[in-house]
């Protein structure tokens, strides 16, 4: 343990305005990376760990039964679902938050809420959005900017990708890095869901996470290229299993 006088740097984790770029090292880049790691952490108290997003129903139906089938299910969900919906929304919402374009923010939020394919998916994005708002409120001065922006946007309720984009917009991280963090946080939660519901061991989970990590940059680049006309929410098999999960007799995960 080190003793002595602590540095007097007062840069806050969600304050992009007070971070200053230096010569040689890059404090702004380092701060941005740390902020995105924080936001992507499964320890962030937004409840992502409590959802399986249809995976538990797929296990119950026998479509996912081992490491290989679980990994393939999540890889497909990453590319066919997350990349074309939430990642695309976050990519478009971050610059809108930074430009204070509330009309754009409200349109993106409405699209998320209107295109959730099941009640379970709609309730998940609303609950996680509320929890992120509460997280920002509980941070006090550290989260004041995020809390104030979300409250003043009049989203009622804020969807999770739009709320998360507000937090990411308060950092100096690039949009692409923010999306990579968002996707990796999702991957960690979903791998844990697979470990519990299949069930699988931790080593299998790490191998699955490694496979997803290799896929994430491609999914992010695809999301960055989408527009309002090409962004979409259409995953019929996932929606069917999410709907089945809502009435599944025995569940580990939230419905």
3-state secondary structure 177-207: HHHHHHHHHHHHHHHHHHHHHCCCCHHHHHH
CB count within 10 Å of CB 159 equals 25
CB of 239 closer than 8 Å to CB of 249? no
Give me the tens of pLDDT residue by residue for the chain, a chain 255 residues long.
333 333 334 444 444 343 333 334 455 578 888 999 999 998 899 998 899 999 999 999 999 999 999 999 999 999 999 999 999 999 999 999 999 999 999 999 999 999 999 999 999 999 999 999 999 999 998 899 999 999 999 998 999 999 999 999 999 999 999 999 999 999 999 999 999 999 999 999 999 999 999 999 999 999 999 999 999 999 999 999 999 999 887 778 765
pTM of the model: 0.87
- Predicted local confidence at residue 180, as pLDDT: 97
- Predicted local confidence at residue 1, as pLDDT: 38
- Predicted local confidence at residue 255, as pLDDT: 59
- Predicted local confidence at residue 7, as pLDDT: 38
- Predicted local confidence at residue 26, as pLDDT: 52
CB of 86 closer than 8 Å to CB of 178? no
Q: Count of alpha carbons within 13 Å of 234, Cβ hemisphere only? A: 3
Instruction: Please report the domains of the chain, with CATH numbers, ordered by start residue.
Output: 60-246 (1.10.4190.10)
- Predicted local confidence at residue 27, as pLDDT: 56
Structure tokens at 59: 């296990």
* Cα 81 from Cα 232, distance rounded (Å): 8
């Amino acid at each position: 343990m080190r003793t002595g006088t602590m540095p007097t740097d007062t840069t806050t984790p969600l304050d992009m305005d007070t971070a200053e770029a230096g010569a040689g090292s890059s404090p702004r880049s380092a701060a941005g990376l740390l902020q995105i790691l924080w936001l992507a952490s499964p320890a962030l108290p937004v409840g992502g760990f409590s959802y399986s997003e249809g995976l538990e129903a797929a296990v119950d139906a026998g479509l996912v039964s081992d490491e290989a089938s679980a990994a393939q299910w999540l890889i497909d969900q990453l590319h066919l679902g997350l990349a074309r919906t939430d990642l695309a929304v976050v990519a478009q919402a971050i610059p809108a938050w930074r430009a204070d374009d509330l009309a754009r923010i409200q349109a993106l939020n409405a699209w998320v809420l209107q295109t959730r394919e099941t009640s379970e998916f709609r309730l998940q994005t609303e609950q996680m959005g509320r929890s992120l708002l509460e997280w920002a409120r509980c941070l006090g001065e550290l989260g004041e900017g995020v809390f104030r922006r979300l409250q003043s946007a009049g989203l009622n309720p804020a969807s999770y990708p739009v709320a998360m984009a507000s937090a990411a917009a308060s950092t100096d991280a690039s949009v692409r890095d923010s999306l990579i963090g968002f996707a990796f946080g999702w991957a960690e939660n979903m791998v844990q869901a697979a470990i519990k519901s299949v069930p699988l061991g931790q080593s299998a989970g790490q191998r699955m996470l490694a496979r997803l990590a290799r896929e994430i940059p491609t999914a992010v680049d695809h999301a960055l290229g989408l527009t309002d006309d090409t962004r979409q929410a259409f995953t019929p098999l996932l929606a069917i299993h999410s709907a089945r999960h809502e009435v599944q007799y025995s569940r580990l995960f939230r419905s």
